């Protein structure tokens, strides 16, 4: 606080303000509640919250106090300001001493004057005397008059409009909407706005939403919608505007308003209405907001279900809508609603008869490939980073849904397919006839079912988890072993699954809250991977590709050394081996002029990943004197003649 009050360097004052903010943030997150009370008292005392507006140089008190409040997340002491008849006179000096507020250029530093105006509005609304002063002042009628210049029905016109597009972008004029927003938070402020026809004027401007789109969006974002009345009517008008930009911004605004208890019900109803919009962009944004809200808690999800959102409309929105419908299955209320609409029976048929669960396995394979930079375009971001919703996985979250799976017999069928493959690993002739894609799909379905307590109990009884462990450790197909490994991670999500895996020799990774992160590994990792301990030589037949080994004369020590250096360079840690390669090129140029050696090096490029820098350096050592390239050209010409002849 001493640095903030006395330091001459503005940068140091700003840093001190941010540091104090972070300290307060840590305190609120870590310090016990009983200690926070004394801490708050000390902070209020340090900020000196009792400036009088009648003291000497009091016209700078609000600006000083406002600057301090900008550094932190709370406005310390503003509610204790003393208001008298000279309040506006003194505050006007801070805003009109140099030039008019509406003509001030918008800069990073001038933004504090907007905060100052909002603070003044808050102070005036907080007391009876302040309300009297505000009603007698001309600030609200003047703002209304400036707005009326844009109203086609008002009859007012001004050549240089205060709320012109250029002024809103280049000056502090947009701050007037923030002040109107402060007025909209209080009942008396709303009465003032109603008295001077601010809402009626805005309605008229919104009748032609394409003319002043910027002003309507600014007005919409500045208002407070906690109280029922004209503002909610205006928001509904913005949500159904003919201008897509206004409609989209209004829809995005609903996301922040959802967390306001006073308007939560109204916003939820508005979001359900937005699903009927024909514009796909608006529908997708609406579903995105609904999904985030439903993911927050089951009570939120039940609240949305009570509004009976249209299943047809959600399905029309593609994957996003399907995921939200799947989310409804996680509560009894959602299950009952979807069951009454016939969704569950239809979807169950699609996943079994239509084999949607096999398509899901393909989607997972594509998702996993996306995480491999060698298999995807690194310029394109991943479409998703989490597993897509699985019908069985969502269905087992309720007892009613789990009973549907059990009574259908599909669980037994999935377990039998996995068991058949696990037992056929010792019989290769039977394993070759297995539909591996279907097997992978069955494993993923079992993994999703195991994420619930009801599902894991059933799988424990029938011994399916032991079969998955056997596939993960013994299957000759690496992709099946990988799928089984990921499925075992899903099984480790429950406490009972952790215990079962522990008995089978697998350990689960826990976070700081002693909860599983969905990662499990066998205690004997070496045997699981299939690698023996010890250092490997590049010429070990079990490691090196046989085709390359065939092309190498192992009695040639120089060639062995050269190939070993090439193999080492695929590891970025050993890029210093480039010096060894250069030394070899100087001492044994004949090897770097031999096309056969060059083609062996090219096979390394096909098999292993080299950085562009290393790849370029290796190629340049072979092509620097062009002799090797000439030999290759002559050899190709000779072969062409032989083919033609």
Q: Does domain 391-529 have CATH number 1.25.10.10?
A: yes
Of 212-216, 546-550, 629-633, highest mean pLDDT:
212-216
Taking the C-alpha atoms of residue 415 and residue 466, their distance in angstroms, rounded to an integer, is 11
Half-sphere exposure of residue 612: CA atoms within 13 angstroms, side-chain side: 0
Does residue 264 have a pLDDT over 50? yes
Question: Do 451 and 389 meet the contact criterion of CB atoms below 8 Å apart?
Answer: no
Any idea where the domains of the chain sit in the sequence?
A: 53-90, 136-337, 391-529, 555-643
Does residue 546 have a pLDDT over 50? no
43: Cα separation from own chain's centroid: 35
Which CATH topology does 136-337 take? 1.25.10
- DSSP H or E run through 510: strand 506-510
| CB under 8 A, 24+ apart: contacts of 479-484 | 479/365, 479/436, 479/440, 480/436, 480/439, 480/440, 482/368, 483/361, 483/364, 483/440, 483/443, 483/444, 484/443
Query: What's the confidence (pLDDT) of residue 601?
Result: 82
**561-609, pLDDT tens digit by residue?**
888 888 778 776 666 678 888 888 888 888 888 888 888 888 787 777 7
Res. 206 pLDDT band, cuts 50 70 90 = very high
Taking the C-alpha atoms of residue 238 and residue 501, their distance in angstroms, rounded to an integer, is 55
For the chain, give the number of residues. Answer: 645
| CB under 8 A, 24+ apart: contacts of 369-374 | 374/609
Q: What is the CA radius of gyration of the chain?
A: 36
Structure tokens at 80: 């204790």
- Phi and psi of 509, rounded to 5°? -80, 130
The pTM of this model reads 0.67
Does residue 340 have a pLDDT over 70? yes
Structure tokens at 408: 């259908």
Q: Which residue has the higher pLDDT, 489 or 22?
A: 489
State percent of the chain over pLDDT 90.
Answer: 36
Of 121-125, 163-167, 199-203, highest mean pLDDT:
199-203
Identical fold between 136-337 and 391-529: yes
What mean pLDDT value characterizes the chain? 80
Return the residue matching tokens 């340090």: 46
List, as one string, the DSSP characters of 204-218.
HHHTSTTTSHHHHHH
């Amino acid at each position: 606080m001493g640095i903030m009050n006395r330091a001459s360097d503005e940068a140091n004052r700003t840093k001190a303000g941010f540091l104090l903010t972070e300290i307060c943030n840590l305190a609120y997150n870590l310090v016990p509640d009983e200690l926070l009370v004394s801490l708050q008292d000390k902070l209020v005392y340090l900020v000196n919250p009792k400036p009088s507006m009648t003291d000497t140089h009091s016209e700078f008190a609000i600006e000083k106090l406002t600057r301090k409040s900008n550094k932190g997340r709370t406005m310390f002491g503003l509610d204790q300001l003393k208001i008298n008849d000279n309040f506006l006179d003194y505050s006007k000096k801070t805003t009109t001493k140099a030039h008019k507020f509406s003509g001030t250029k918008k800069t990073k530093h001038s933004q504090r004057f907007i905060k100052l105006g909002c603070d003044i509005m808050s102070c005036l609304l907080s007391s009876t005397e302040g309300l009297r002063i505000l009603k007698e002042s001309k600030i609200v009628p003047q703002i209304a008059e400036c707005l009326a210049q844009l109203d086609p029905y008002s009859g007012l016109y001004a050549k240089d409009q205060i709320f012109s597009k250029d002024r809103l972008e280049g000056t502090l004029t947009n701050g007037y909407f923030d002040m109107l927003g402060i007025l909209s938070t209080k009942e008396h402020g709303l009465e003032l706005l109603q008295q001077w026809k601010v809402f009626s004027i805005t309605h008229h401007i919104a009748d032609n939403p394409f003319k002043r789109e910027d002003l309507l969006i600014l007005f919409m974002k500045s208002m407070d919608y906690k109280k029922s009345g004209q503002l909610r009517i205006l928001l509904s008008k913005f949500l159904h505007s003919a201008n897509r930009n206004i409609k989209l911004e209004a829809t995005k605004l609903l996301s922040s308003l959802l967390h306001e208890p006073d308007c939560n019900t109204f916003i939820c109803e508005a979001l359900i209405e937005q699903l009927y919009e024909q514009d796909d962009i608006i529908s997708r944004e609406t579903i995105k907001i609904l999904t985030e809200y439903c993911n927050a808690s089951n009570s939120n999800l039940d609240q949305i279900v009570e509004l009976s959102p249209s299943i047809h409309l959600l399905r029309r929105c593609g994957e996003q809508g399907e995921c939200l419908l799947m989310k409804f299955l996680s509560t009894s209320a959602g299950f009952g609603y979807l069951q009454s609409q016939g969704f569950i029976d239809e979807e169950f048929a699609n996943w079994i008869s239509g084999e949607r669960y096999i398509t899901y396995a393909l989607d997972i394979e594509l998702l996993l490939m996306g995480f491999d930079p060698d298999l995807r375009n690194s310029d394109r971001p991943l479409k998703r980073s989490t597993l897509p919703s699985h019908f069985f996985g969502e269905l087992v979250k309720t007892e009613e849904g789990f009973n549907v799976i059990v009574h259908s017999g599909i669980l037994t069928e999935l377990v039998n397919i996995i068991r058949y493959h696990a037992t056929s690993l010792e019989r290769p002739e039977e394993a070759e006839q297995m539909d591996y894609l279907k097997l992978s799909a069955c494993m993923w379905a079992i993994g999703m079912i195991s994420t619930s307590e009801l599902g894991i109990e059933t799988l424990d009884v029938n011994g399916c988890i032991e079969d998955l462990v056997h596939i993960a450790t013994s299957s000759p197909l690496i992709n099946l072993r990988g799928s089984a490994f990921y499925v075992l991670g899903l099984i480790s999500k429950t406490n009972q699954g952790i215990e079962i895996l522990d008995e089978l020799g697998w350990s689960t990774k826990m976070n700081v809250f002693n909860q599983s992160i969905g990662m499990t590994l066998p205690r004997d990792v070496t045997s699981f991977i299939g690698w023996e301990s010890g250092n490997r030589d590049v010429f070990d037949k079990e490691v090196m590709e046989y085709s390359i080994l065939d092309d190498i004369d192992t009695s040639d020590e120089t060639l062995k050394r050269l190939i070993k250096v090439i193999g080492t360079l695929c590891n970025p840690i050993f890029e210093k081996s480039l010096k060894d390669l250069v030394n070899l090129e100087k001492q044994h140029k004949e090897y770097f002029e031999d096309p056969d050696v060059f083609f062996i090096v090219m096979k390394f490029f096909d098999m292993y990943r080299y950085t562009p820098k290393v790849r370029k350096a290796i190629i340049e050592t072979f092509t620097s004197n062009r002799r090797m390239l000439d030999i290759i050209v002559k050899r190709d010409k000779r072969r062409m003649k032989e083919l033609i002849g």
